[in-house]
Amino acid sequence: MTLYIVGTPIGNLEDITLRALRVLREVSLIAAENTRKAGTLLSHFQIATPVTSYFEGNERRRIPEILDALERGDVALISEAGMPGVSDPGYPLIAAAAERGVPIVPIPGPSAHTAALVVSGLPTDQFLFVGFLPRKHADDALHALAPIRATLVFYEAPHRLEQTLALMYETLGNRAIALCRELTKLYEEVWRGDVESAQAWVAAHPPRGEYTLVVAGAVDDHAVWDEERVRTALAEHLAEGFSRSQAAREVASLAGWERRRVYELGD
Q: pTM here?
A: 0.81
Q: Contact 234/266 with Cβ under 8 angstroms?
A: yes
- What's the pLDDT at 220? 65
- What's the pLDDT at 266? 77
User: How open is the CA angle 239-241-244, to the nearest 5 degrees?
Assistant: 85
Per DSSP, helices labelled H in the chain are: 18-26, 35-44, 59-72, 90-100, 112-119, 138-145, 161-171, 195-204, 227-239, 244-255, 259-264
Q: Measuring CA to CA, which residue among 71, 230, 217, 89 is closest to residue 142?
A: 217
Strands 127-132 and 151-156: parallel
Helix (H) / strand (E) containing 52: strand 51-53
Distance from C-alpha of 165 to C-alpha of 217, rounded to nearest angstrom: 15
> Structural domains in the chain?
3-110 (3.40.1010.10), 113-218 (3.30.950.10), 222-264 (no CATH)
**Crossing angle of helices 138-145/161-171, nearest 10°?**
50
Q: What are the C-alpha distances in Å from 20 to residues 24, 25, 97?
A: 6, 9, 20
Tens digit of each residue's pLDDT (9 = 90 or more) over 108-147:
999 999 999 999 999 999 999 999 999 888 989 998 999 8
**Crossing angle of helices 59-72/90-100, nearest 10°?**
40
**With a cut of 70, which residues of the chain have pLDDT below it?**
220-223
